[in-house]
Chain A
Amino acid sequence: MVLSPTDKSNVKATWAKIGNHGAEYGAEALERMFMNFPSTKTYFPHFDLGHDSAQVKGHGKKVADALTKAVGHMDNLLDALSDLSDLHAHKLRVDPVNFKLLSHCLLVTLALHLPAEFTPSVHASLDKFLASVSTVLTSKYR
Chain B
Amino acid sequence: MVLEAADQAAVRALWLKLGSNVGVYTTEALERTFLAFPSTKTYFLHLDLSPGSAQVRAHGQKVADALTLAVDHLDDLPGALSALRELHAHKLRVDPVKFKLLVHCLLVTLARHYPGDFSPSLQASLDKFLSHVISALVPNCH
Interface residues of A (CB under 8 A from B): 28, 31-32, 35-36, 104, 107-109, 111-113, 115, 118, 120-121, 123-124, 127
Contact = CB atoms under 8 A, between A and B. Distances in A.
B123 A124 contact: no
A120 B124 contact: no
B30 to A, nearest CB: 10
Nearest to A128: B36
B120 A115 contact: no
Interface residues of B, number: 20
B130 to A, nearest CB: 11
A124 B51 CA distance: 15
A28 B113 CA distance: 18
A108 B35 CA distance: 17
A123 B115 contact: no
A108 B109 CA distance: 8
A36 B105 CA distance: 16
A35 B115 contact: no
A113 B115 contact: yes
B36 A36 contact: no
A108 B36 contact: no
A115 B113 contact: yes
B108 A118 contact: yes
B121 interface: yes
